Chain A
Amino acid sequence: MLTISGLKEGIVLDHIQAGKAMKIYKYLGLDELDHQIAIIKNAPSKKMGRKDIIKIDGALDLDLDVLGYIDHNITVNIIRDDVIVEKKTLKLPKKITNVIRCKNPRCITSIEQELPNIFVLADEKDKTYRCLYCEEKYGQTGH
C-alpha cells in the first residue's frame, strides 16, 4: 500500500466508496483550500475490499454536512496532536446546495442556469429531498 505520513492535526475521511474521492473533493470545496490534501484511491480495505481516503492537513472547521447525503458510511476522524480525538457521526443535512440537479423540466432551475440547485430534506426516514423551488422529489437511490 502507498504510504502517506500521518497527520498532526486535521481530518481524515476514511471508508469512502472506491472511486468517489474526487467527487467528495469537489463537493466539499477542497480545491479552494490552501491546506495540504492527500487523496488515496483504491486503498485495500478488509471491510470494503477497496476504499478511498482523503487526508486534510490542518483544517478542522470544514462543513462536512454534505457527506451525510453522499455516503453516511464514511468515517470522519478528527486528529489533534497525532491522535484521533473525535469520530464524527454523519447525519443527513437539512439542505444541500449544488450537489444534485433538479430534473423537473418545468422547474425554474431548468432555464436560469445561475441559480443554485438547493434541495431541502423532506423525509429523514426515506432520505428524500425536495427541490426548494418546485418541490420535485429526489430519492437517495437516484444519486
Chain B
Amino acid sequence: MRHVISPLDFTVEELDQLLDLANDIEHHREKYAHACDGKILATLFYEPSTRTRLSFESAMLRMGGKVLGFSSASSSSAAKGESVSDTLRMISCYADICAMRHPKEGAALVGSMAASIPVINAGDGGHQHPTQTLTDMLTIRSLKGRLDNMTIGLCGDLKFGRTVHSLINAMVRYPGIRFVLISPKELRIPDYTRENVLEANGIPYEEVTSLDEAMPKLDILYMTRVQRERFFNEEEYIRMKDCYILDKAKMALGKEDMLVLHPLPRVNEISVEVDSDPRAAYFRQVQFGVYVRMALILTLLGIQVQ
C-alpha cells in the first residue's frame, strides 16, 4: 500500500506512467466509467476547499465509485478534539482510499502513519499539495508537449503557497528547468525549498520582485493568490494582497507560446480580461485536475483497466 504525501513519492518513470494514464482517461472516458464500482473514497477536508474536494469527488464518481466525508473541521469529530491519527484509523474501516486536507503542516503524513488505506495529501497547510502539482504537470505536458527545458516563473505568495513548493520539488527532476521566483521579499520561498531543493540539485534560479522584467523570459507563468488564511496579521495581508496583477499589458510582454497557470481560486491577481487570451490555461487546468486524480485513485487502488 502506498500514500501520496509529497510529489516526490513518485519516481519520474512512475509520474510518466501516471500522466500517460491520465491522458488515456481524457481520451477514453467511457472505458473507465465503472473502474471503481464498489469502491469508496473518503474526503476529509478540515479546511474549506471547493476545487480540490469536488475534483476528487468528481474523479471517483466518474469511475463508478462512491464518496463520503466532511468538508470542514467543525462538522467532524475534530471539533470534539479527536486526533488526526484516530480519525484516520476510524476512516480506514469506512473507505478504500482517502483524500485529506488539513490546515497544519505534516497532517497528511501523520494520517498516513495511522491509516490502513492509501492516503492522498490534498494540501497540508502551507506545506505540500501534490495533486495540484500532478494537475500542473499534466497541464504543462499536455499543452507544451514536454516537461523539460523550460523557464518557469512562479509569482505571488511563494512563502505560504504550497502549490509552488510542490511544483518546484517535482520539476527539478527534469533536465533544463530554470526558475524565476517573483515575489515581495516577505513572501519569498522558504529556506527548505531554496536550500534542500534548488541549491542541493544545482538548479538555476533567480529571485526578483518585478513581474514586468521577468515576463519575456518565461515559458510558463504560474500565478498564485496571496492567501488571507496563512497570515496571522491582517494588516500584513492587506499590504501584500495586490502586489501582482496580471493584465493585458503585462501579457503583451510575454512569449507567444507562454502558458499562464493558476491553482485557483483567483482573487485579483489575474484580471478577467486575460481569460480570453489563448495562453490562459487555468480553466483547462481544472479539467486536467479531474483526469489526473482519476489516474491517481486507480493507481493507488491497484486497479488496471484493459
Interface residues in chain A, defined as those with a beta carbon under 8 Å from any beta carbon in chain B: 104-112, 114-115, 122-123, 130-137
Contacts and interface: CB of A to CB of B under 8 A. Distances in A.
A20 B232 CA distance: 37
B123 to A, nearest CB: 13
Nearest to A109: B106
**Which of A108, A123, A135 has the most chain B CB atoms closer than 10 A to its own CB?**
A108
Contacts, number: 55
17 contacts: A106-B104, A106-B105, A108-B106, A108-B109, A108-B110, A108-B124, A111-B104, A112-B84, A123-B195, A130-B196, A131-B106, A132-B106, A133-B107, A133-B109, A134-B106, A135-B196, A136-B192
Interface residues of B, number: 20
B46 to A, nearest CB: 11
B157 to A, nearest CB: 14
B192 A135 contact: yes
A135 B107 CA distance: 12
A106 to B, nearest CB: 5
Contacts of B110: 108, 112, 115, 133
B279 interface: no
Contact of B106 (A107, A114, A122, A123): A107
Interface string B101-136: 011111101100000000000001111000000000
Interface of chain B: mostly helix, strand, loop or mixed? mixed
Query: Lowest 3 A-B CB distances belong to which pairs?
Result: A133-B106, A134-B105, A108-B104
Interface string B71-89: 0000000000001110000
A108 B114 CA distance: 14
Given A112-B84, A135-B196, 19 more contacts: A105-B232, A106-B105, A106-B125, A106-B126, A107-B106, A108-B84, A108-B102, A108-B106, A108-B110, A108-B124, A112-B83, A112-B85, A112-B110, A115-B110, A122-B196, A123-B195, A132-B109, A133-B109, A134-B106
A114 B83 contact: yes
A109 B104 CA distance: 8
A115 to B, nearest CB: 6
B304 to A, nearest CB: 33
B104 A137 contact: no
Contacts of A107: 104-106
B273 interface: no
A70 B8 CA distance: 31
Contacts of A133: 105-107, 109-110
A19 to B, nearest CB: 32
B191 interface: yes
A137 B192 CA distance: 7
Contacts of B195: 123
Contacts of A131: 106
B102 A137 contact: no
Interface string B275-288: 00000000000000
A137 B191 CA distance: 8
Interface in B253-274: none
A133 B105 CA distance: 7
A111 B83 CA distance: 9
A137 B196 CA distance: 11
